[in-house]
Amino acid sequence: MECQPDFDKAIARFGYLMALIGFVKKHAIATLREIDLRNAKAEGFERDRFPRSIVQAYSTLCKEKGMRRRKEIIELCQDIGSSPFFREPNCFQMLQQFLAAAHHNFLIIAVPIGNREGSEAQDSPGRSRPGLRPHHRYTNRQQGRPCA
């Protein structure tokens, strides 16, 4: 599935927001990319990482300019950072053919993007086990057929 375009849009929105409040857009985006790369190396691809990286980038920019952070801007940064996770996923072209060919050569495991808590499947009330339900399939809601 393609999700990078959603992250690219969020990065661009962050740059526009920073330009609106007086920061240099290119510098703001470069700061975000540097912080997010550092956080990705340290934390992996947790769902909370990207919104936190955006808030950290805003905080860094404020510190550089000697400005006070504003609560409403922090909230906007968190919303921008969370936005890629609430978009309809798009399958990349030829996904079905790729999966059909790869099925014979590789063990393919689909995992959700999210927090560690989100990767626990409930077997029964009060009892959980790590991992995904074996029958769980993601579907492309727009086309009504399996996506992966």
- Per residue, what are the HEC states of 100-115? HHHHCCCCCCCCCCCC
CATH number of 4-86: 1.10.150
CA distances (Å), origin 147, targets 9, 72, 108, 109, 139 = 23, 37, 14, 13, 5
For the chain, list residues with pLDDT below 70. 1-2, 87, 89-92, 95, 103, 107-148
pTM above 0.85, yes or no: no
pLDDT of residue 4: 83
Domain ranges of the chain: 4-86, 95-146
CB 145 within 8 A of CB 107: no
pLDDT of residue 135: 34
pLDDT of residue 43: 86
Q: How far is CA 4 from the centre of its chain?
A: 9
Closest to 5 measured CA to CA, from 87, 69, 65: 87
